[in-house]
Structure 1
Amino acid sequence: MLLHIPGVFSKDEVATLRSRLDAGPWADGNATSGHQSATAKVNRQLPEDSAEAREVSALVVQALNANPMFVSAALPHTIFPPLFNAYEGGEHFGTHVDNAIRQRGHMRIRSDLSATLFLAEPETYDGGELIVEEMYGPQPVKLPAGDLVLYPSRSLHRVTPVTRGRRVASFFWIQSLVRDDADRETLFRLDVAIQRVNAEKGPKDPAVLELTAVYHNLLRRWTEV
């Protein structure tokens, strides 16, 4: 499931994050690449151990954990510390699939989901679309600053060349409590349905109670901890 999550950060919050990130020591993006990615990746990246990256990364994780849509869709077990990249002057990232395991220090996670948080307004740069290959064909994604896209890490994807302006984003991976993509999508759609019925009929309505019981029984069955 490819999911657009709007408003992880407000416009003012994005401006504050960008002022911090833009002052950082940007370097060659291949510093964190695997072998396959290194042959396709041409961009800039903020070193993960820089003060700017650590500070903004913590703010991103805090915002994600407070976002009900993200939590419902991802069911996060562990969020890999967010990284930051930038594309300009024709830079791009060719077709690739993310590594199944991501490691940083003592942290090691299974990458079930990948995420891109856009930190530049789409009208400020040309190109830079994230193209995610799905069952129904390639899906282009270019979102407003502060919005996030979530998609399975097994998906082939690429970033098209940026021919004008500068595309800045945060990217990271999530190990979910529910490994299977289809099971996770079922739970998300069920949660959305519960919230809709709850808004219409109230939390004590029998339909809400029954759907909630189904949700939690499925969650118990499919959760990996």
Structure 2
Amino acid sequence: MITVVEDFLSEDELALARDVMKESTFVDGARTAGYRARRVKNNEQVSWSQSVVREFQDHILERIHSHPRMSAICLPRRVSRPLVSRSREGMGYGLHVDDAQIGESGEKNRSDISMTLFLSHPDEYEGGELEILTPYGAAAFKLPAGQAIAYPSRFLHQVRTVTSGERVVAICWMESHVRDEQEREILAELDAVCRKLHGLAPDAPETDLAFKARANLLRRWVA
């Protein structure tokens, strides 16, 4: 299940994030790649040692858990600290699959879901599309700044070469409370139904049944 969350960051949050990135120090992104992906990774990443960056990371983590749609889709149990990645002209990230376990030393989590948060506007760079290889074919994404995309970490994917300008994104990986991808999709769809019914008919017995069904599936499937 690939999902775009259009309102992940507000305009004010996005402006603050972009200001932080302008003042941040970037280092070679290959440092954080596994030995297989290192050969195709050509980008830069913000150094984690900067306190202002840590604050921005904390805000993204809080947003993942508090955003109604993102939390319903991903059911995040643990989330890695976000990486902020920059690709300048000639840079990209070739075809690869994300590591099965990701995180800081001693705190590695299973990667069920990958998330990319776009921090650059599409007209600020050429190329740089996130291309995901699904069982139904390749899908390319170049979203407006402030929007996020969540997709299964099991998919091969790449960032096409940036031919001009500069592409900045934040990336993180989630371990979900519900490991099975199809079960997560069912729960996300039921959440959408429940929210709609709550707005249209909050006192209807059918609304109670929908909430009951989702709650009981969560009890069955949550690890």
Q: TM-score range by the shorter chain?
A: over 0.9
* Residues 92-142 of structure 1, C-alpha deviations (whole Å, 9 max, x = no match): 101100000113133121000000000011111111110111122111111
Partner of 2:84: 84
Partner of 2:16: 16
SS of equivalent to 1:166: strand
Q: How does 1:26-175 map to 2 (within 5 A)?
A: 26-175=26-175
Partner of 2:221: 222
Question: CA–CA distance in 1 between the matches of 2:139 and 2:206?
Answer: 35
Contact 1:46 / 1:83 at 8 angstroms: preserved in 2? Answer: yes
Compute the displacement of 1:56 (Å).
Answer: 1.1
Contact 2:81 / 2:103 at 8 angstroms: preserved in 1? Answer: no
The aligned length equals: 223
Compute the displacement of 1:48 (Å).
Answer: 2.4
Question: CA–CA distance in 2 between the matches of 1:60 and 1:217?
Answer: 30
Compute the displacement of 1:79 (Å).
Answer: 1.0
**TM-score normalised over the length of structure 2:** 0.96
Question: CA–CA distance in 2 between the matches of 1:8 and 1:86?
Answer: 20
User: Is 46-55 or 15-24 further displaced after alignment?
Assistant: 46-55
Contact 2:128 / 2:167 at 8 angstroms: preserved in 1? Answer: yes
* Residues 61-84 of structure 1, C-alpha deviations (whole Å, 9 max, x = no match): 122222100110010101111110
Contact 1:5 / 1:149 at 8 angstroms: preserved in 2? Answer: yes
Question: CA–CA distance in 2 between the matches of 1:49 and 1:33?
Answer: 18
Question: CA–CA distance in 2 between the matches of 1:186 and 1:143?
Answer: 25
**TM-score normalised over the length of structure 1:** 0.96
Contact 1:120 / 1:168 at 8 angstroms: preserved in 2? Answer: yes
Partner of 1:176: 176
SS of equivalent to 1:24: coil
Question: CA–CA distance in 2 between the matches of 1:55 and 1:213?
Answer: 38
User: Is 59-68 or 30-39 further displaced after alignment?
Assistant: 59-68
* Residues 6-25 of structure 1, C-alpha deviations (whole Å, 9 max, x = no match): 11112232121111122111
Structure 1 unmatched ranges of 5 or more? none
SS of equivalent to 1:104: coil
Contact 2:114 / 2:151 at 8 angstroms: preserved in 1? Answer: yes
**Aligned-partner residue type, residue 39 of structure 2:** T
Moved over 3 A (4+): none
Structure 2 unmatched ranges of 5 or more? none
Partner of 2:207: 208
SS of equivalent to 1:78: strand
SS of equivalent to 2:36: helix
Contact 1:21 / 1:52 at 8 angstroms: preserved in 2? Answer: no
Question: CA–CA distance in 2 between the matches of 1:194 and 1:134?
Answer: 29
Compute the displacement of 1:162 (Å).
Answer: 0.8
**Aligned-partner residue type, residue 27 of structure 2:** A
Contact 1:85 / 1:168 at 8 angstroms: preserved in 2? Answer: yes
User: Is 11-20 or 25-34 further displaced after alignment?
Assistant: 11-20
Question: CA–CA distance in 1 between the matches of 2:186 and 2:3?
Answer: 13
